[in-house]
Chain A
Amino acid sequence: MTAPNRLIGSPLERVEDLRLLRGRGQFVADINREGQLHAVILRSSVAHGRLQNIDTGAALQLAGVHAILTAVDLGTPVPVLPIRLQPLPELEPFRQPMLAHDRVRYVGEPLAVIVAESPAIAEDALDLIDVDIESLPAITDRTQAEAGDTILFEEHGSNVSMQWNAVKGDADAAFAKADYTRRETFRVQRHAALFMEPRGFVAEWDAEAERLTVWGAAKVAFANRKILAATMGLPLDRIDMLEGDVGGSFGSRGEFYPEDFLIPFAARHLGRPIKWVEDRREHLMAANHARQIECDVEIAATRDGKILGLRGRNWTDNGAYIRTNGSIAPRNAAQFMSGAYDIEHIALTSFSLTTNKTPTGTYRGPGRFEPDFVRERLIDLMAKDLGLDPLEVRRRNLVPADKMPYPLATMTPFESVTELDSGDNHALLDRCLDEFGWAEKIKLQGKCIDGRYHGVSVGCFIEGGAAGPSEDARIVLETDGTFSVYLGSSGVGQGIETIMGQIAGDALEVPFERVRVHCGSTGFVAEGYGSFHSRSTVMGGSAIVMAAEALKAKLKNVAARVLGCAPEAVMLDADGARDGSGNAVSYADLSDQPVEAEARFENKKYTYAYGSLAAHVAVDPKTGQVDILDVASTKDVGRMINPATLNGQSVGSIVQGLGGALLEEFVYDSDGQLLTGTLADYLLPTASDFPNIRSTVIELAPSPHNPLGAKGAGEGEIIPVGGVIANAVAQALANFGVEPMALPLSPPNVWRLIQDAQSKQGVSS
Chain B
Amino acid sequence: MKVAFEINGKPVEIDVEPRLSLADCLRDVLGLTGTHLGCEHGVCGACTVIVDGEAVRSCLTLAVQSDGRKIVTVEGLSDDERLSPLQAAFRRNHALQCGFCTPGMVTTAHALLSEEPDADAERVREVLSGNICRCTGYMPIVEAVLEARAAYADGEDGS
Interface residues of A (CB under 8 A from B): 11, 13-14, 16-18, 20-27, 29-30, 120, 193-198, 245-248, 250, 277, 279-281, 492-495, 644-645, 647-649, 651-656, 678-680, 684-691, 693
A378 to B136, CA, bound (A): 31
A-B contact pairs, 24 of them (CB 8 A): A13-B92, A20-B96, A23-B35, A25-B100, A30-B33, A194-B134, A195-B98, A195-B100, A196-B38, A246-B98, A247-B98, A247-B99, A247-B100, A248-B98, A248-B134, A277-B37, A280-B39, A647-B94, A656-B137, A679-B39, A679-B41, A685-B138, A687-B126, A688-B126
A648 to B141, CA, bound (A): 11
**How near does chain B come to A401, taking the closest CB pair, in angstroms?**
30
Assuming the contacts A18-B83, A198-B38, asked whether A687 and B141 have C-beta atoms less than 8 A apart, the reply is yes
B55 close to chain A: CB less than 8 A: no
B32 close to chain A: CB less than 8 A: yes
**How near does chain B come to A256, taking the closest CB pair, in angstroms?**
20
A689 to B138, CA, bound (A): 10
Assuming the contacts A248-B135, A493-B100, asked whether A280 and B36 have C-beta atoms less than 8 A apart, the reply is no
Assuming the contacts A13-B92, A248-B100, asked whether A23 and B136 have C-beta atoms less than 8 A apart, the reply is no
Hey, which chain A residues are within 8 Å of B135, CB to CB?
A: 196, 248, 493, 648, 652
What 7 pairs between A and B have smallest CB-CB spacing? A23-B34, A493-B98, A20-B99, A247-B100, A655-B137, A23-B74, A679-B43
From the candidates B43, B96, B140, B142, name the one contacting A21 in the complex (CB within 8 A): B96
Q: Mark B121-159, 1 if CB is under 8 A from A, else 0.
A: 100111011111111111111100000000000000000
Instruction: Report whether A22 and B91 are in contact in the complex, using a CB–CB cutoff of 8 Å.
Output: no
A30 to B131, CA, bound (A): 21
Could you say which of B87, B103, B139 has the most chain A C-beta atoms within 10 Å of its C-beta? B139
Instruction: Report whether A17 and B142 are in contact in the complex, using a CB–CB cutoff of 8 Å.
Output: no
Instruction: Report whether B94 and A652 are in contact in the complex, using a CB–CB cutoff of 8 Å.
Output: no
From the candidates A13, A25, A196, A689, name the one contacting B44 in the complex (CB within 8 A): A196
Instruction: Report whether A23 and B33 are in contact in the complex, using a CB–CB cutoff of 8 Å.
Output: yes
Instruction: Report whether B40 and A21 are in contact in the complex, using a CB–CB cutoff of 8 Å.
Output: no
B7 close to chain A: CB less than 8 A: no
B10 close to chain A: CB less than 8 A: no
B65 close to chain A: CB less than 8 A: no
Instruction: Report whether A690 and B74 are in contact in the complex, using a CB–CB cutoff of 8 Å.
Output: no
Given contacts A16-B99, A22-B78, A23-B103, 14 further A-B contacts (CB under 8 A): A23-B73, A23-B75, A27-B33, A29-B37, A279-B40, A281-B41, A492-B98, A493-B98, A494-B97, A645-B94, A651-B139, A652-B135, A679-B44, A686-B130
B46 close to chain A: CB less than 8 A: yes
A573 to B42, CA, bound (A): 54
Assuming the contacts A678-B43, A685-B137, asked whether A652 and B34 have C-beta atoms less than 8 A apart, the reply is no
Instruction: Report whether B91 and A693 are in contact in the complex, using a CB–CB cutoff of 8 Å.
Output: no
Hey, which chain B residues are within 8 Å of A655, CB to CB?
A: 136-138
A678 to B125, CA, bound (A): 22
Hey, which chain A residues are within 8 Å of B99, CB to CB?
A: 16-17, 20-21, 25, 245, 247, 493
A494 to B134, CA, bound (A): 12
Assuming the contacts A21-B87, A652-B136, asked whether A27 and B38 have C-beta atoms less than 8 A apart, the reply is no
Instruction: Report whether A196 and B134 are in contact in the complex, using a CB–CB cutoff of 8 Å.
Output: yes
A691 to B119, CA, bound (A): 16
A196 to B132, CA, bound (A): 8
From the candidates B19, B102, B121, B128, name the one contacting A120 in the complex (CB within 8 A): B19
